[in-house]
Every structure is written in C-alpha cells, then in structure tokens.
Chain A
Amino acid sequence: MEEYNFYWYFYAEVFGVSETLAEKAIKLYKDPQYIYEAKDESYVINGLKPKEIEILNFCKNREKLLKNMDESRRLGIHMMHEGENIFPEFVGLSDPPKVLFYRGKRPLLSPDNISMVGARSCTEYGKSMAYNLALDFAIVGKTVISGLAVGIDGACHKGALDCGGLTYAILGCGLDLCYPFSNKILFDRIIKNGSVISEYPVGVKALSWHFPKRNRIISALSDKLVVVEAKKKSGTYITVEWALQKGNDIYAVPGRATDPYSDGCNELIKQGAGLITDIGDVYGEELKIAAYMYRKTKNDSITLANENRLVYNNCDLLPTDIGTIIRNTRLPENRVLECLSRLEIEGFIEQPSKGYYCRKNV
C-alpha cells in the first residue's frame, strides 16, 4: 500500500467540489500544504469569496479525508501529483492536471499513445470503424486512449482489449464508480489490461461539467487524436479544441456526405484534419501491412458452404433486415434463417438489434 500525499489529496477533494476554486487557490498558494494550513484571514486577504472559503473549510475535515484515502487504498487506486518524477509532464496545456488517480497500470506519456474519441449516439458503421481501428492500433503496439462512454468510446476500448493491447480510459468521476454502468465489464477489463484514470477522488459523481475537463486529459495524454464519428454538435468537439490548443495531429474518419452522424467528421476533414480509413494513414504503410498480416493468420480458416456464403455476402457492415436478405438471396425464408443463425453461432455475423444482421469485425 502506498502512502498518499495528504495535502495533494486535500487538493483533489477541493477539485472535486469546485475545479475553478482549486485552480485559483493553487495559483495563489503554489503548494496545497499552504492552502490547507492557511487561516480564513489569509483567504480573505488573497481575495477569495466567502462561499469559496466555506468550501475550503468544508474540505479540511481531516477525518473525512483520511477515511476517503483509506477507501481509495482499499480499491487499489493509485495517486500521483505534480512534482513527483513519475507524474507525466503535460506540455502545451493552459491548466494541466495537478493530481491524477488511476487504477491499473501507471499511465505513461509516450509517443505511442493515440487518443480516439467519438459520439455516444452512433451508427453500427461508426462502432465497427472504431473497433477495427483500435484493434489495428493495438496490434502494432499503440496505446488507445478514450473516455469509456457508450458508443464509439466503448468500441475503441473493446477493440484494443480484444487483441490484448494497452488502453487507458479517462473518467469524469471518482474511480470507485463506473460511469456509464453499462460499461462495467469493459471497466474491469481495462483495469486488468491498462488503466482507468481520473482527476477526481472517490465519491465524486459523474456530473455533466466534469466531462469537458476530462476531455483535456484525453487530448493531453497523446499527440494524436482520431475522431471516429461525431455530429456537428457533439462533446467530441471539445476534445478536438483541446487537442488543437495543444498542437496535436487530428484525424477524422469520413462518413457519407449526407449522414448526420458523420457531419462533424466531414467538417473536420474540410477544415484540414487528416483523413483516416486505416492505420496506414497515421503510422504509414508498413505498420498497416503488419496489422493486416497478423489478422490474416488469425482468420485464415473461413470456409463457408454455398448457401451460407451467399447469405454472408448479402450481409453488410451496416445492419440489414432479414427481409432484404431474403429478397436478395432469393432463398426461401426458412433457409435464410437457418444460414443466419449458423453464421451467428459461428461468429461471422451478429445481431445488433433483433432481426437486423451485420458482419462481425473479421
């Protein structure tokens, strides 16, 4: 069990209540110990408002702090803070994080990191692109960083994990809870095979204004950002702005011109973002071929009987309804059902929604 720095933990607690206050206070006092030990008079002289002083005093509850620290230790949450030599050096951020909590492996700032983001409401195409890109990135040894949200983020983590790659998930809440809870399985897998990271101490809930802040860490941990699928009005744009501020390379996955789910990405490409369809667009042809070869050795065994092959060929990456498949294959409906079920059991296709089939990421 490691010892936490008590004063930095206090700083994190304050940060969990009010980010602006914490940043203001650290600018004034430089060291959290001074904030902790300062009296009300000192605060007043430094120009803190009565409400802010109230918050600071509320957070100074020593017993509560110790209790929370015990709880964090119990959960296996590690803490690192500014000034430690293991703390990643964030360059180019106007307000870099001072304290980071993580569960799992210690996150490293490395040129091999790549951030991937996208919208929560997305299409099957978006999910499949995210999954495949992340899978390839992980195959060639890159670390995928994302936000553990539903939709694209989840698919990114899943892709990286599925080939045993390293992945970091940045959360907007305390690490004692998994938000969104529907990604709990992913959450546990990431802890084993990477880490979940947050600026917030245990007990802090996922509140809406935490997420823009969280996005700056996603962009800060790497120097490349891939936007998979985003509408024009999407939280993803906040991450893009952070990344631009920092000077990251931005890549966007193109969508259909008329698709409202991709208009954000297409707009980014128009403005000069890199267009990415496979990992070669970021890391060059060599790694792309490496990933391709690796996958090929795994999936060389696809041999399908005639009818199964016909049905499989009529499945798309986008979910297709049974009616269309029946129509296009010109087979009787019971034969089509049989083939679809068999293909699903054998893992070639999946049903993202009842009665709609699409090809699985092979």
Chain B
Amino acid sequence: MFCSIISATIRGIEARKVDVEVDISQGLPVFDMVGLLNSEIKESRERVRSGLKNTGYHLPPNRITVSLTPANERKEGTGFDLAITAGLLVSMGVINKKSVENTMIAGELSLDGQLRKIKGILPMIIMAKETNIKRFIMPYENVKEALAIDGVEIIGVKNIKDFVELTNNGYKNNQIEINKDEETAVKYPDFLDVCGQENAVRAALIAAAGAHHLLLVGPPGAGKSMIAQRIPSILPPMNLEESIEVTKIYSVFGDKSMNGLIRARPYRTPHHNITPQALVGGGYKAKCGEVTLAHGGVLFLDEFAEFSRKTVDYIRQPLENGEINVSRNDANYNYPSDFMLVAATNPCRCGYYPDRNKCMCTDADVKKYMEKLKGPVLDRIDLCVSMYKTDIKEINKGGKYSSKELLKKVVKAREVQEERYKDFLKHENEQDESVNDQKIILYNSKMNFKMLQRYCKLGEKEEKLLDLIYEKYDLSTRGYYKIIKVARTIADLEDSADIKEEHILQAIAYRIDNLWC
C-alpha cells in the first residue's frame, strides 16, 4: 500500500518541503530508499527498523520502497526518521491514513523507539505555516522552540508508541504544558562592572546609538573585552521578528543550550585563528559562520591585528549588505548577517605602548603592528577609542554608568533616527517605485551622501571648523564623512536637532585615522 507523508529539509536557514513516499508491495524482502540522500538519511533505515521492532511492530517481509521528493534536490538531516516510520505504519495499516493528512512530521529515532531533538525546527514550522499545513508532529523536546510560531497545531511525541496512540485517538491527549508567556528577563552583564574608562564607555554608547562599528585600542587587562561583552546590554531589545530570525539561525546551527525563542542579542567572539569558512560560512554543506551567528548582536574580534588579513577581509560584504552569500557546489545560500562589529587590539606587540616604563618596542615595530590593521574592514569602522590603565581609586569606586541608563539613551537616540529616516524612505519611494522595502530601518552609520546633505546641515561656525579640520588632519573624504556621521549621533544623544561645534569636536577625538600618525 502506498502512502505519502509531508516532512522538510533545511537549505541554508530556510526549510524546504519534502514528501516522504512509502510503498509496500509484493516481492523479495528489501528496504530501498531513493531521492538523492545524504548518508545520515540512508542510515535512517536501520534506526527505523530497530525502533519499530523494539516498539512491537515488525516490518512485513515485503518489498519496501521509500522515496523522498523532489528527487533532484539533495536532502540532509536526521528529521526524516519519524516521517518514514509514519509512512510505514500507515502502509502497514497501524495508523489511519486520514489522521496524518496535511500533517508535517519530523523527528529523529533512537533504536528503542524514543524520539530525539532535531535541528532546524523553527524554519520548518515557519514553512509549515506559510504552506497552510494544519499540524506538526515533532519530538517533545523541540516543542518549546516551535511554540514561537502561532497558527499550526503542534504535537509533541516522546516515542513511537506515543505517536501511534495520539494519531489513533485523534490527538486528544496532546499534553503540552504551555506557558508561552514566561518571558524570562534577558540577562546581560552590566556596564556597572566597568571601573573607570568613561571615555570608552561613552564610545560604546555612541556606537550603539548610531549602529556604528567600534575599535578599542588598549593595553592588556584594560577591559576591552569587558566593554564589548556589555554592548548587547545597551542595544534595544529585539522585537519578535528579529528574535525569530535569530532563533532560526541557532535552530539550524543546532545550539544545544537553546530553549525556546532567543530573546538575548547574540555576542560572538571567534578566536583569531579562525578560518574564513568558519567566520563567514562554508564547508561542503555551506553552513553558516560566525558573522551569521552574530546577526542582530555583536561580533567581537579580539586581537584584531592577529587575525589573518585575508580572513578579516571576508567580512567586508556582510558589513556592507547585512548578509553574506555562501556558494558551494550544490548550494548557494544568503545568510543574514547584520551585526555590530567591535574590534579590539593592543597598541603594539607587547601591548603597553606608549607606556615607556613597560614597552620596549621600537617606533618602527609599533608602526608595523598598527599597519597590520589597515584594510577594507577598518575603513568601515567609524569609531576608535583608546583605553588605558585604570587608576586604583576608580577601581574602588566602581562603575559610573549602568546599562539601564545607557540603554534608555540609546533607545531614545534610535527613535529619533527612525523618525528622521522614515521620511527619507517615504520620499525615496515616491521617486523610485522599485524600492518598497519598508522594513529597512536606517541609522546614522548607514547614511549615504544624499542623506548626509539633507540631514546633517551645518551652521557657518561648524563648517568653518570642519574646513580647518579637513586641512589640518589631511582627511580623506571617507574620513570627513565619518566625522559628520559620528557627530550626528552625538547630537542625537544630546538631544540636539542640529550638529553643533561641540559635537564635531567630540567626534574628532574618536576618529580612527590618527592610529598611524
């Protein structure tokens, strides 16, 4: 008897529908599986056979054929075990065919018939919702994650026995303890732990407010990583959409610690030995990399000078477009990767320059070390701040700003920006109808030339000052615009409609060009 079950595979971070067809017919007893399968799916045969046997169902000694369609697409993942089992049980007449109609089934089997957690449940359920599937049967452990999406009936099963009972009695005893709204408060480390370093904290505040990228320079132990780690705590909380996007990524990546929807902004710190593939995504399955895992959060590159330049240059595309395209022989995926880059570096090889009591590096060594930072990625960093040894008095006094205070300022500044650029988008869309993506929210760091001219009008005094700066520091055009952008953010933070002299002066202190003077 023939039977078809709906299931799904993961491509990139999206799910694709796969039909699992099972047919039991007269003939020599064989178990064949077709449909361009990865080896973990081919091995599914053994798990299904033993799982069924140990639950009390014996496969009939007939010719069994399982086909996964569309047959020309490569499939991967262990989620097909349960779908195949379901198909077999229907074909064997154990389950009513009607009860699994318009139902998506996914789950991994263990040999004793228990079900195991699988990766990528969230994209699957999103796909199920989009294609109007009524119900989704999945391993019980995955339920919490799936509950983030409304509109599909979710059935969590613990083993095959459970599954058969539930399907046969019309899903009456579906016991899921839903406490959907147990929104646990997201916990981040707090900026109160940072002693002294007001200047760097302020730079972090400005960076967070205008979505600028940030470079921290300082001796070992000054607290560069500490500041970076605390930046997610002053980024506005994620809305549901963002949250789902991030959860989708981690769902596919298979983060074991994941429990339901991710609410905290990610914070990733890849080691400087990282390969390009691990950083931006790759491998033969074209898995996502650190830049994607940092989507919506902070990517912290500690010891920035120690990264191989080639590796670092790969993040240019995500910095510019907010997504990364990964191509491998049978895959071509676009992964979202809109993150805030925080890089940290020592000022020289020993780390203590310009403290001449400790640093014995020659000027040439220092210069060489700094030269290593140069490149397209550094060009896209707007803010640079230097850190220093904290005074003992400051350590005893503790931090000056709490994350809560700072967050308030950031949220306010971002609201101002959203309000301002909303008009711009509207205006643009009138002229050009192809741009209709209302989802884009612009921040100061993303301003283009046109917007700079419109939103960063300068007074006479300010223009004079900028002229002087442009000449004195021999700025490039990019460097010039960077200063204006940062000044705009500072003005937003200080609740000023116009950019004033003081904002420009502060912005100069954070400029990055003078790293190599």
Query: Could you list which residues of chain A lie within 8 angstroms of chain B, going by C-beta atoms?
Result: 120-121, 123-124, 150-151, 180, 182, 259, 261, 319, 321-324, 326-327, 333-334, 337-338, 340-342, 344-345, 351-356
| Cβ contact of A354, chosen from B217, B364, B390, B465, cutoff 8 A | B217
Task: Judge whether B278 is part of the interface by a CB distance below 8 angstroms.
Answer: no
Q: How far is the CA of A344 from the CA of B217 in the complex (A)?
A: 20
Interface size on B, residues (CB 8 A): 42
Most chain B CB within a 10 A radius of its CB, from A123, A182, A326, A341: A341
Contacts known (A338-B506, A352-B354); A326 close to B199, Cβ less than 8 A: yes
Task: Judge whether B360 is part of the interface by a CB distance below 8 angstroms.
Answer: yes
CB–CB A150/B509 < 8 A: no
| Cβ contact of B363, chosen from A150, A322, A323, A356, cutoff 8 A | A150
CB–CB B509/A340 < 8 A: yes
A-B contact pairs, 25 of them (CB 8 A): A121-B360, A124-B356, A180-B364, A321-B386, A322-B386, A323-B198, A323-B394, A324-B388, A333-B199, A338-B502, A340-B509, A341-B506, A342-B505, A345-B508, A352-B517, A353-B347, A353-B386, A353-B517, A354-B347, A354-B514, A355-B199, A355-B385, A355-B388, A356-B354, A356-B388
Contact string against A for B residues 342-359, beta-carbon threshold 8 Å, 1 for contact and 0 otherwise: 000001000001101000
Q: Which chain A residues lie closer than 8 Å to B388 at the CB level?
A: 321-324, 355-356
Q: Which chain B residues lie closer than 8 Å to A261 at the CB level?
A: 356
A361 to chain B, nearest CB (A): 16
Q: Which chain A residues lie closer than 8 Å to B5 at the CB level?
A: none
Complex: chain B residue closest to A119, CB-CB: B362
CB–CB A323/B472 < 8 A: no
Task: Judge whether B197 is part of the interface by a CB distance below 8 angstroms.
Answer: yes
Q: How far is the CA of A185 from the CA of B392 in the complex (A)?
A: 43
Q: Which chain A residues lie closer than 8 Å to B394 at the CB level?
A: 323, 327
Complex: chain A residue closest to B465, CB-CB: A345
Q: Which chain A residues lie closer than 8 Å to B364 at the CB level?
A: 150, 180, 182
CB–CB B508/A341 < 8 A: yes
A329 to chain B, nearest CB (A): 12
CB–CB B506/A355 < 8 A: no
A330 to chain B, nearest CB (A): 12
Q: Which chain A residues lie closer than 8 Å to B34 at the CB level?
A: none
CB–CB A337/B506 < 8 A: yes
A349 to chain B, nearest CB (A): 12
Beyond A327-B394, A334-B502, A341-B509, list 20 extra A-B contacts (CB 8 Å): A121-B360, A150-B363, A182-B367, A261-B356, A322-B388, A322-B509, A323-B198, A323-B199, A324-B391, A333-B198, A337-B506, A337-B510, A341-B505, A342-B505, A352-B354, A353-B353, A353-B386, A354-B515, A355-B217, A355-B387
Q: How far is the CA of A327 from the CA of B217 in the complex (A)?
A: 20
Q: How far is the CA of A321 from the CA of B509 in the complex (A)?
A: 13
B387 to chain A, nearest CB (A): 7
A305 to chain B, nearest CB (A): 13
CB–CB A354/B468 < 8 A: no
CB–CB A121/B202 < 8 A: no
Q: Which chain B residues lie closer than 8 Å to A151 at the CB level?
A: 363
CB–CB B356/A123 < 8 A: yes
Q: How far is the CA of A120 from the CA of B515 in the complex (A)?
A: 20
